[in-house]
Amino acid sequence: MKPKPWKTLSTKIVYENPWMKLREDTAQLPDGRTTIYGVVIFGNCVGVLPFVDEDHVLLVRQYRHVQGEGHRWEMPTGGVKNGETLEQAAQRELAEEAGYYADRLTHISSYYTSKCICDETAHLYIGEKLTPAEASPDETELLQRRIFSFQEALRMALEGDIMDSMSVMGLLLAARRRS
């Protein structure tokens, strides 16, 4: 038997900036009790694992303020802007961060980045047959780019050198498709 849904009694935006919102709900549980529930809203995001050839991928790295580190490599990722399709957002992020467009963009997965307090769905792609594009990262993105063998990037994900969920998932799913 599926769990019974909660009923939202009230909702209010507590904080908002251009990248996220924080919402506070008052919800009624199936047994009649009420609770306060915080939800961080990010919306949709995309990630592209760009293959520069059959056996090599391009990864980027930048300082990540939340973790206080800048040594980890990751695939190009970012949010979906209003009015963009997922594919348009994936191509934009790939161009901004990696300096390429993909002639072939293959969707490999969609998943919730957190099932509890975040409203964010990640959509992952493999990018192939790359053509140069003008890289124009956001003003806070001070990026480095590097080409890795796919096997080295996969090893980094498996051993915890790559830790962000979009990159780990993208590499693992790409490996599964290749086997």
Instruction: Return the closest-CA partner of residue 28 out of 8, 49, 4.
Output: 8
Whole-angstrom distance, CA of residue 106 vs CA of residue 166: 15
**What's residue 147's pLDDT?**
98
**What's residue 69's pLDDT?**
85
Helical residues (DSSP H) of 38-164, grouped into ranges? 86-98, 150-158
Residues of the chain with pLDDT under 70: 137
Whole-angstrom distance, CA of residue 166 vs CA of residue 45: 10
- How far CA 135 is from CA of 25, 99, 141, 142, 163, in Å, comes to 40, 4, 11, 11, 24
Q: What percent of the chain has pLDDT over 90?
A: 86
Q: Where are the domains of the chain?
A: 7-178
CATH class assigned to 7-178: alpha beta
Phi-psi region of 98 (alpha: psi -120 to 50; beta: other; left: phi over 0): alpha
**What's residue 137's pLDDT?**
67
Residue whose entry in the numeric block shows the structure tokens 């009649």: 32
